[in-house]
Copies of this chain bind each other. A is one copy, B any other.
Amino acid sequence: MTIFVKNAWYVAAWSREIDDQLRRYTILNEHIVMFRKSDGSVAALEDRCPHRLLPLSKGKRIGDTVQCGYHGLTFDGTTGKCTRVPGQTNLPASAYVVSYRTEEKHGIVWIWMGDPDRADPARIFDMPEFTDPNWAVHLGDALHLESNYLNVAENLVDPAHISFVHPTTLGSAASENVPVHVKTDGEAIVAWRWIRDAEPVGFFKAFGGFTGNVDRWHYYYLYTPCTAVIDFGSIEVEKNCAEEDRNQGVRIFALHFITPVTETYTIDRWAHIRNSALEDPDAVERMDAAFRLAFAEDKEILEAVQAEENRPQKRRPIRIAIDKAPLVYRKRINDLLELERTEDLAGDLSPAFVYHD
């Protein structure tokens, strides 16, 4: 049984990855060939000729069409319909490849993997800081993980792991027993906690320049199925910062766009948006380096977990107090999968983005 929600916008690539070359991507276990058409928009076609199954990405782009590299069948980059079969003049209706709808926003290519009639670009993830001059946006790396996407997503709404997985980078032992709050806020699952009057953690020592104790916060927003925003920051204890005044501290949004590749392989494209060091020419490079270090720690954990999940299970895993947000997430995904598995003529629970600040 599939574990993928299909009626959703997924990040297919950063815009900068896509040019006029034919490039293969794998999303929800589907091979897709993408290229930039002459009007600048992104073509995304099933990467398999319906004739002999050669990937179209092995063929060549001819204008806005793709010609198969085996026998020359040619497909329209927008509709996927066959426009030429060498050796015959008729073009049978079943000579087509699936065409996927794409959208670009803020340098990100989104793809809709499900029923095209339900694709609504207005539901693509957005947040005002993308275009606010007080904030600096940077699209980072594509982190490849040998892990199913559900564990990757759950890890991103799980503040409790910070103290143990990232003790010297993003967290510290000071937070081990600080309780985590969880709520749902429309489509978002939010888990958060404040650690008050504690030594700044490695990341903010390196980046924020704090010397004395700080108040620091983590807010994890997880938008079903695959977008996570981690709002974290630090501020001097003396400022006695209220929840709504986080912009007065050093505040960073770490964005994670999770793309399920196969059932056990996931790409996490991460970005960050910050309100500090806007003029610092090295800030992006230093911050990327810090994130790479921390995310490598997640990768090691998640891949070891996947290796265990691949083995036969003898007992049901246990769930504990800190799993509240992951449990809500897993339930939402299961509800969506059930909705897609059947045809509900009444309801609609398709994922959407609602941003709460």
Contact = CB atoms under 8 A, between A and B. Distances in A.
Interface in A323-357: none
B87 A300 contact: no
Interface stretch (A8-16, A67-75, A123-131, A138-146): A67-75
A94 B160 CA distance: 20
B317 A52 contact: yes
Contacts of A59: 164
A53 B305 CA distance: 6
Given A70-B161, A72-B176, A164-B69, A85 B308 contact: no
A163 B53 contact: no
A300 to B, nearest CB: 7
A94 B318 contact: yes
Interface residues of A, number: 47
A311 B321 CA distance: 41
Nearest to A177: B86
B69 A165 contact: yes
Nearest to A86: B176
B164 A304 contact: no
Contacts of A320: 51, 71, 73, 85, 87-88, 92, 95
Label chain A's interface by main secondary structure: loop
A54 interface: yes
A186 interface: no
Interface in A287-325: 300-301, 304-305, 308-309, 315, 317-322
Given A58-B300, A305-B54, A308-B54, A321 B165 contact: no
19 contacts: A51-B320, A52-B151, A52-B317, A53-B308, A54-B308, A55-B304, A55-B308, A70-B164, A70-B301, A70-B305, A71-B320, A72-B163, A72-B164, A73-B320, A86-B163, A86-B176, A88-B321, A94-B315, A95-B318
Given A72-B176, A86-B177, A88-B322, 5 more contacts: A48-B308, A52-B151, A67-B164, A72-B160, A86-B322
Interface of A: 31, 48, 50-55, 58-59, 67-73, 85-88, 92, 94-95, 151, 160-161, 163-165, 176-177, 179-180, 300-301, 304-305, 308-309, 315, 317-322
